Homo-oligomer: A and B are copies of this chain.
Amino acid sequence: MAKTMTIKRRSGGKKASAPAPLPIPGSALRFDQRSLSEEAYEHIKRLILSGVFKDGEKIPEEKIAQILNVSRTPIREALRQLEQYGLVVIKPRSYAKVASVTFREAEQVAHVRLELEKLAVRSIVKTVVKDDLDALARIARQAVAKFREGSLAETFMLDSAFHLELVRRSGNNILYDILERLDAKNQLVRVRSVAARPAEMVERLLREHQAWVTMLANGDEEGLMRAVEAHIIPGN
């Protein structure tokens, strides 16, 4: 999935001492909007969340820069951002490595997510319109479909997308930013404990999404609270 990603040629900057064999103008040829930092961020994030980069593995700036064919600068910015999202740990003056996630941390993420998603649901249930319901139902349906096709990675992406879309439509941007960050850590948790997840449990979770949409349509706030709790902290 994340294998052939080349990012555009190097550009800008100072001419190297070496006779610069590739005087490609660079950005002038690029029609995309995203900066190299953003592309590098997405790329490294995918490598971590898809398990290519193992737990605790070192991530040297220079090596990654060579692989993506860019200079160290955008890689640096990407790593700093990934640190903010809890996917990378940077030891100053030393190196950056893939964050490992303890069981305790996973629990803490779940507890925070629970409270915040409950807040989001309490908010959206008061303002929900048909467009919200349709959008959420569509994501939930797609997730089930992808799961039955057997593409687990896409299923998980759509699982995340459902929760984030719900929060986005709650209208609380502060909340959305926080949960977007937490989602990264949550995805990391999933990757690290992929074997321990029986298929039937995954399908149950996806079905619960669809139940949420129904309850949202009915304005059943109490039922939603219980459902969210059971969904995020199944142990109870």
Contact = CB atoms under 8 A, between A and B. Distances in A.
Main secondary structure of the interface of A (DSSP, over half): helix
Interface string A185-198: 10000000000000
A82 to B, nearest CB: 11
A114 to B, nearest CB: 9
Q: Of residues A35, A92, A112, A174, which shows the largest number of chain B Cβ atoms within 10 Å of its Cβ? A: A174
- Size class of A's contact patch? 20 to 34
Interface string A45-60: 0000000000000000
Given A81-B84, A111-B172, A112-B175, 5 more contacts: A108-B175, A109-B174, A112-B119, A115-B116, A174-B182
Interface of A: 35, 76-77, 80-81, 84, 86, 92-93, 105, 108-109, 111-112, 115-116, 118-119, 172-175, 177-178, 181-182, 185
